[in-house]
Structures are given as structure tokens and as C-alpha cells.
Chains A and B, each alone.
Chain A
Amino acid sequence: MGLAPTPVATREFPARAGLEAARRTRGPESPKWGATILFLAPAGLLLLVFLIYPAIYTLLLSFNRGRNGIFNEWVGLDNYARLFANQDFLNFSTFPPSGALWNNVLWLVFYVSIVIFFGLILAVVAARVRYESVLKAIVFIPMAIAATALAVIWKFVYSPDNIGLLNALLGTVGVGPIAWLGDQNIVNFALIAVGIWGSVGFATVILSAAVKSIPAEVIESARVEGANERQIFFRMILPMVSLPISVLAVTLVVNVIKLFDLIYVMTGGGPGKASQVIAFTMYQEAFQAGQWGYGSAVAVIMLVLLTPIMIFNVRRFRAGSVT
């Protein structure tokens, strides 16, 4: 589902990427300013104009009414206060809670854990059969496809009439039909299922590489000494793939915070506002409702949610291990 890449070392991209390695590389003794500017200016200019300056502008605009996107009335924290008072954004007064940010929490809990679970199971189990590569390719296909196409595929599967596969299957055992995308209690889980379907292949490929990196002799000798399959999985495989799992988890969390296309195409945030997520709220408030200051506040919340991961990445990189 148009997933983000993740920092895992492969043969083509070895992991020796820390600053230590960079320091050892030799440039000429004194900087050649002309060449340096030539090589860096295009990237630097674009980053300044399209990323750094706009980020500061958006941060400031979130403290402004921001009519038509310009600074016309400073309102302090009013946009944030309204945002968190808005029950469509976050509502703890009901059980279960609801709102766009809460839906991101649902995604975080179910999508991230189930994708990792399935990915690990498939990585380990598929390694035991001869058709492993075919199976991995099949599960990986959704990764190549646009979220927009995934949305069409699954809207069709979920179709509430007799032509929808899922309701037809349930009909044979006398259940349904269920309005998967029309019921506000079900819609988020129906969407999360699509997200899982789209991402398991990615998890499988990453974890499969990690599982295979465990030396065969280590597992063989454990087996010879009488360890059973369960012990081998929990005591040997799991600890050795914990680092790739944490990297995978970070990538999936980032996907959840940035999640937009699938929701926008599949449900438009509906029924009502039941399946909205934070990136959807940002788009809608800023570009459809014309609430630029308020929309900026939502964007800043997204940035704040991603900041711990930003710090995590920078720290990890400074430590010299991008793995």
C-alpha cells in the first residue's frame, strides 16, 4: 500500500553508514567552494524552500486564525484548544472512545501488531517449503499497488450486495449481509484489515531476511541437543530478530501517522466521520473547510507525533549503526 521503506541492511546497501565511516573518508585538504556549492545547492535550495521554511510557516500559522493562509489574527493556542475540544478529533466521553486521533490509535494497536505477527509467522513457516519464493511474491504484490487500487479491490470484496465476495461467503453459512464500510462500529476494523493485507508482504520479506541470517549450525546444534520447535522459535529466533522487528515497528507506526490515501478513497472518512484519521482531518480542515490555521495545528500535531521517531533515527545514526 505504498509503504515507506525501512532501514534494513541488504547486500546492495550495506549498513556501514555511521558518521564514523564518513569521517574516515578523505576529501581534499581545503574545501573547494565552487564544487561544493554546485553539488549541494539544488538539494539545499529545494529543502529550504519546500520543507524547512514551510514547516516554520505552518508552525506559526497554527497560532493564527490564518484566513486564506496568511497571518491575519494571532489567536495563541486557540486552534489547539478547539482541536482537542472537538469530539470529531478526540472523544473520550464515550466508550469506546472515538474521533480521528483515536482511530489512529486503533490502527497503531491492531495494524502494527498483526502485521508483525503475520510477517513473523510467514517468514518462519514459509522457509520450510519449497515454494517459499512464490508465496512471498504473492504476499508482496499489494506493496507494488497504489492504495487507491487496494481501496477499489477491497471495496468490491466488502460490497454489501450479493456480488461482494465476503458477504457471499458469509451468506453460505447464513450470516449477513454485513455493511462492512457502512457500520461505524465495524468500518475501522474493515479498513485496518485492508491495511494489514497490504503490509504483511513487506514484514515477511524483512523478517525472512533476518530469520535466514541466523546461522544454520546454531539452530541445528540446538536441535541435536533436544530443543523442540517451540523452544527454538521463542528462545533463539525471536531474540535474534528483535532488532529488525523494532525497525519494522517504527516504519509501520510512521505509516499509521501518515495514513491518508486508503481512507480517503475507501470511505471518505465515513460513515459520518467514523473512519477519519489525523492526516484526513488535516486535509479536510485546511483544503475543504478553508480553516488554514486550524488545519496547520493538525499538521503540527502530526509533526509532534513523528518527532520521537525523528530523534530515535538521528540518535541511532550518530551512534553509527543504521541497521
Chain B
Amino acid sequence: MSVLAEGIAGARPRTPAGRAVAALNRTAIHVFLALIGLIWLVPTLGLLVTSLRPRADIQSTGWWDIFNLHLTLENYSQVLQAQGMLQAFLNTIFIAVPSTILPLVICAMAAYAFSWMRFPFRDTLFLIVIGLLMVPVQVAFIPVLIGMRELLPALQLVNGYGAVWLAHTAFALPFGIFLLRNFFITLPPDMIEAARIDGASDVRIFRMIVVPVSVPAIAAYGIFQFLWVWNDLLMALVFVQNSSKFPMTLTIQSLLSQYGTEWHLLAAGAFLLMIVPLIVFFSLQRYFVQGLLAGSIK
């Protein structure tokens, strides 16, 4: 902890008046931070409470009416079964898992080539990857969609998960390659050289040395990519056109447009969407924050 942590206390006022001012300042800081904490907790908490209240209660009083609290899981069972959120939950998993594993593998391989292999135009190609970081997905939507529909109709990509897997994978590449390469080039060159002198092939060096020692970096990127896909709405909107394959984000969006004020359904639906990211966040907070902070702009 730095000296900043001592802050005002560190100034050590000598007079009683100075001490009073310092105490006042400390109180002001605590009040300010408590207010911040409330503003950031209460909206989410309110929705959580709402998701557990019966519909009739929600319509008549605010969720903060805790003296009349009847808790129920009815909303969850209704939204899971009648509104198809169970299927949507599974669909989100079916979309998110391959859309995380594919980019992880492909990015790690390309990042290895950019860090430890020698080939012409390597640096130029890598600068192109950095340039592609800023290309918005919107620029690719129309041709990719048309290509999938017109050129490859037999594959039925937009009726299944194929289109969204491929799109998520491809659009994840510039960031993933960039991030993993930045980690791979910090590995000690001697380690790679020694393996090469011993006659190990690139495939072997990649699998037996680079990947095992880079697990923290790969995990951080994997968590980031998984949550990115889990939380995505736009790509699913464009590339999942069969409503029985909709992920939760799309299902909640259509719930909202159909039953805009049926808060018992919306609140429970939103919590089902949030539960996995929250578990990931609280259990893997360190990796999660690092994955988010590292690297560059997606």
C-alpha cells in the first residue's frame, strides 16, 4: 500500500482544530464512497429482489417495500419453461464454448509464429493485424452474411450456429493474436533456442513449452473471450437467424419488446443471463481483470 493510502491521516495535523478538520474530511470520504457503493449496488440488487417477488406484488409496489416481502421462484420457472430461457441458456453455451476454444487455438498458433518463427514480411503482417484491431464488425456484416446465404446455401450456416461461430472466431483474431504474441515474446529466448538445438520441431516447442508456460495469459484471454461472446447481442442478431437457436441476449430482447412491463419475466431473465458472468467474475476475478486490462482495443 502506498503512502496515498494514509492520505489525509498522513498529514498529521497538530492543533485540535486541524484534527477536527481531518476527521471531518475522513468522514466526508467515507460518506462519498458509501454513496458510490450504493449507486453501484442498488440497481442490480433491486432487479434481483424483483426477480424473486410474485407478479402481483411487483405490479403494485416498489421492490424496496421489504415489509411485504413474499419470495418465490415462480418467475424463474416461468421464464425458463414458458418463455424458452432454458433453451436460450443452452444455446448461449453452444455458441460461447466453440467461439472461445476456436479463437484460443488459432490465436495461440498465429501468435507463436509472430513471436518465434522467422518468415518474410513478419513485422509488416503483424502491423496489419494491429490495424485490423480497429476495423468495426459492421464493415464485414453485409458481405459475410451474403456469402453465407448465397454462396454456401447448402451449409445452412445462418440456420445453425456455424455462422456465429465463424464470425466470432474471425473477429476475435486481431485482438487475440496481439495479446498472446505480446506475452509469448516475453518468454526467455534461451528456453526456445535450447529446445531447437535439441532438434525439437516448432509444433513440439509450441505444444510442450510455449503453451504450458503461458497458461495464465491464455486463461485470461479465454475468460475475456468467453464473456465477450456470452454477453454479445449484435453478432447473434446478425448471424443467428433461426429463433430456436437464439442465445439469451436475443431472447431477453424479444421478451422486452413483447412484454415491456412484465418485470417478473424480465428480471428473472436478466439474472439468468448474468449468473454465469458473475460466477466467473467472483471466482476468477484476477484473470478476468487482467484479460480486460491487457492488450489492446477490440
Chain A positions within 8 Å of B, measured between CB atoms, are 2-10, 12-14, 16-17, 19, 21-33, 35-36, 38-40, 42-44, 46-47, 49-55, 57-59, 61, 66, 68-70, 122, 124-129, 131-132, 135, 137-149, 151-157, 159, 161-165, 168, 197, 200-202, 205-206, 209, 211-212, 214, 216-217, 219-220, 223, 229, 250-251, 254, 257-258, 260-261, 264-265, 268, 279, 282-283, 286-287, 292, 295-296, 298-300, 302-303, 306-307, 309-310, 313-314, 317-318, 322
Contact A153 B7, beta carbon cutoff 8 Å? no
Which residue in chain B gives the minimum CB-CB distance to A318?
B127
Is B86 at the interface (CB under 8 A from chain A)?
Answer: no
Residue B17, interface by CB 8 Å: no
Known contacts A12-B290, A163-B63, A306-B134; A216/B2 CB under 8 A: yes
What residues on A are CB-neighbors of B40 within 8 Å? 138-139, 141-142, 197, 200-201
Number of interface residues of B (CB under 8 A): 136
Q: How far is the CA of A52 from the CA of B138 in the complex (A)?
A: 12
B130: A residues at CB distance < 8 A:
313-314, 317
Q: Which residue of A lies closest to B48 (CB)?
A: A153
Given A46-B173, A128-B7, A156–B224 Cβ distance below 8 Å? Answer: no
Q: How many A-B residue pairs have CB under 8 A?
A: 402
Q: Are B30 and A129 in contact (CB under 8 A)?
A: yes
Given A17-B185, A35-B202, A152-B256, verify A129-B47 contact (CB < 8 Å): no
Interface residue B285 (Cβ < 8 Å from any Cβ of A): yes
- Known A31-B117, A128-B4: A8·B294 in contact at CB below 8 Å: yes
B224 touches A54 (CB 8 A): no
A145–B278 CB distance below 8 A: yes
Pair A128/B280 contact, Cβ less than 8 Å = no
The residues of B that contact A69 with a CB separation of less than 8 Å are 142-143, 145-146
CB < 8 Å neighbour of A7 from B127, B145, B177, B295:
B295
Contacts of B82 in A (CB 8 A): none
17 contacts between A and B (CB under 8 A): A5-B294, A13-B290, A31-B117, A42-B109, A54-B141, A59-B139, A69-B143, A141-B281, A144-B278, A144-B281, A148-B253, A152-B256, A153-B44, A156-B266, A223-B3, A283-B237, A299-B139
Q: Which secondary structure characterizes the binding site on chain A?
A: helix
